[in-house]
Amino acid sequence: MANKLYAMEQLTEEVAKDVASSPQEWMRFLDTASRLYRYTFPEQILIYAQRPDATAVASMEIWNQKMYRWIKKGSKGIALIDNTSGPKTKLRYVFDVQDTYKVRNLGKDPQLWNLPMEGENLVADYLQEQFNLEETEGGLAEVLHQAAVESVQDWLPDAFDEMHLDVGGTFLEDLDVQNQKVEFRELMINSTWYLLLNRCGLDVQEYLDAEDFRYITDFNRLKVMGHLGSSVNELAKPVLMQIGRYVMTDLEKDLKTLAKEKEVPYNEFNTLIRESKITNKEDREENKEEHEHERDHLQPERRVSDPGYQSGGDIRDNREVWDDAERISAEPQNRQIQHSDLTEQTGQPSDGDRPAGETESRQSDGRTAGERSGTRQDDGHNGMDQTHEPDQSTGRGTGDSGDYLQLSLFPTEEEQLGEIRKAAAALTQPAAFLISDDVVNDILRTGSGKGNTLFHITAKLIEGLDNEDMRNFLISEYGTGGKGFTIHGQKISIWYDSDGIRIRRGDSAKRNFDRMVTWEEAADRIRDMYEDGNYVSNSISNNAIEKEREETSLQLALHFRDTNKNPDERLSYQEWQKIIQDYWLEPEAIQEIYERFEYLQKDMDENPGEYHRWEIQNNPVYFSRFRDLQRDMSWRDQKQQVERLELSFITQDEIDAVLRKGGIIAGGRNRIYEYL
């Protein structure tokens, strides 16, 4: 094992030197790294050396016990250096999804996000909003460039100071400090931009070529290449994770909304306005009491995770390397994706059955995942000695040196199937029954982790959403997060994400759980409790619509203030808020709101260049929400007082999520550790 470990350390050194030998070699590495952006740079180097076409890798235990797949006979493990599992550095082996078979009716495929071309503008708008980037007409590519430049601005000072200590013995040593910094900065920006472009499926050759990476040959030793590669990885990862979350949770919905807006011409909007006026007048004559619904969904703040690269290894326990498959919530600010995300996304078998070889990113020219944009596929590295001669079956490999382990050294297929059967059988064990329906209902009565969550959910119940709409709303309302309760003296942890609510006895529920409550089940249970009058206290039910009204007023105040073009009607946000709140108390004044929406829609159609894109998109959405507030609601009396569980502890899942935060500023996560 010591010889194998030494061989892999040597391989890392040689491959790092090799990828720095020319701009083309560096670009080839970046092609692979863009698919493996969730791995650390040392892991990327070793995977690139052994399996440059890998798309999703994990240990045999994960493939067997979580994904219900077995490793093909004759497959070779990808050796990685593990210095995070104890005081002693060792090798661990992972396998690509192409090395596996699914167990029939049980095996699962990794989920990989894909950005369609029609979604590029929406992603660009989203990134501009989330990262406070300047507006640009250059499309997604220019927005990604802005993100790379601004990230490097914050990262460069500390990163360069650390790298400068290691320039001895490299070509950088011959340069003065200023030129060292110029080369480091340019390579960081262009390499980060390359990763972002390539992972989003854009044609990199339109924006970057070999000349943009001409300085890479000066980074000819691992000690300086490690600083560059790790910095690029740290900067690209949070942006790509942010994009992945949006693509997996909100993009499809936003595309549908955009399509509907394009389908509805202005005269149909006028018809909607006229119908609203008639309906509003009839409603006022029949019933002076107005009701409201539909909480205003302010665009959720999305936070990014800083993986906090440590040259000595990442601070993790039980780490499993995985691909950038995303199992993402509708509210990513709480979602903390880890290298071990394969384990957390596979608590239960999936109904989906996509092909195992599905590529994870759109390639504009139809290339496969194994081919790299803008560069020529090369089977080997120049400058590698025979010890690390490429293996034709697996990419770069280490030949007969023993650094690859043939499957014969691992459990046989039959032995693996035995493990898979045990894992599958565990799902039918009675642990789930230890979490009773009453406990599930008590947990659901606490809502999500957001402020006013029970008001929001109750308002939707009053509105009378159907089951599918209620399910989608709950996914959005809950987002991703955890809670800890003490029930009958037993610690109960919950973790919720887009899959449902995981519940388990103890301090953690994210990876292993006693019971999974799907969002369909949650919607049914919440509705049943509401109909029975024991979901929330009567005070919450009676005030839910009032809360909706307040939040809608806030949104309309911002919308009307920002879209107002009349110099004689320049009102502040507070003034608009007061006007709208007064309108709720004067039903006759509702007509003025309709007329303002009508005027805005007409002006936006005639002069779209005078408005922001989101203002144009939001106007009909806000009008629809405002119109919905005027219709009758489905009220059900609730008990005077419904007891709710109190939070009693912070789960380990929540702690892990916080510790993996830190933003895109250098050393962010380390500062959190130091503070704790």
Angle at 26 between CA 24 and CA 29, to 5 degrees: 110
**Residue where the block lists tokens 């709409």:** 469
Residue 319 reports pLDDT greater than 60: no
Residue 369 reports pLDDT greater than 70: no
Q: Model pTM?
A: 0.49
pLDDT recorded at residue 377 = 38
90-96 and 57-58: which strand pairing? antiparallel
Reported as type and span, the H/E element at residue 92 is strand 90-96
- How much is the mean pLDDT over the chain? 76
Residue 622 reports pLDDT greater than 90: no
Tell me the mean pLDDT in the region 278-285: 48
Buried b / exposed e over 195-211, threshold 16 CB at 10 Å, is bbbbbbbbebeebbeee
pLDDT digits (tens, 9 = 90+) for 521-561: 999 999 999 999 999 999 999 998 888 888 888 888 888 88
Rounded CA-CA distance 330/473 in Å is: 10
Rounded CA-CA distance 343/363 in Å is: 28
Rounded CA-CA distance 290/283 in Å is: 8
DSSP, collapsed to helix, strand or coil, labels residue 233 as: helix
pLDDT digits (tens, 9 = 90+) for 254-265: 888 877 766 655
Residue 118 reports pLDDT greater than 60: yes
Cβ contact 112:360 at 8 Å = yes
Cβ contact 349:108 at 8 Å = yes
Q: Residue 269, CB half-sphere, CA atoms under 13 Å: how many?
A: 25
Rounded CA-CA distance 251/115 in Å is: 9
- What is the residue type of 571? L
Describe the crossing of helices 23-35 and 2-19 by its angle, rounded to 10 degrees: 120
The residue ranking higher by pLDDT, 278 or 410, is: 410
Rounded CA-CA distance 182/259 in Å is: 45
Q: Which of 113-117, 276-280, 358-362, 634-638 has the lowest mean pLDDT?
A: 358-362
Which among 476, 437, 452, 657 has a CA at the least distance from the CA of 536? Answer: 452
For the residues of 514-539, what is the DSSP string, one character each? SEEE-HHHHHHHHHHHHHHT-SS-HH
DSSP, collapsed to helix, strand or coil, labels residue 492 as: strand
pLDDT recorded at residue 455 = 92
515-517 and 500-505: which strand pairing? antiparallel
Q: Residue 499, CB half-sphere, CA atoms under 13 Å: how many?
A: 23
**Residue where the block lists tokens 């029970």:** 454
**Residue where the block lists tokens 């070889």:** 357
DSSP, collapsed to helix, strand or coil, labels residue 91 as: strand
Contacting residues for 372 by C-beta, under 8 A, at least 6 apart: 27, 28, 31, 32
Residue 564 reports pLDDT greater than 70: yes
pLDDT recorded at residue 264 = 54
Which among 666, 41, 95, 659 has a CA at the least distance from the CA of 313? Answer: 41
pLDDT band at 249 (very low <50, low <70, confident <90, very high): confident
Rounded CA-CA distance 270/273 in Å is: 5
**Residue where the block lists tokens 């006693």:** 514
Q: Which of 187-191, 402-406, 463-467 has the highest mean pLDDT?
A: 187-191
Cβ contact 239:304 at 8 Å = yes
Q: Which of 89-93, 147-151, 640-644 has the lowest mean pLDDT?
A: 89-93
Rounded CA-CA distance 247/146 in Å is: 20
Burial class (CB in 10 A: 0-12, 13-18, 19+), 51: buried
Q: Which of 6-10, 101-105, 324-328, 653-657 has the lowest mean pLDDT?
A: 324-328
Residue 382 reports pLDDT greater than 90: no
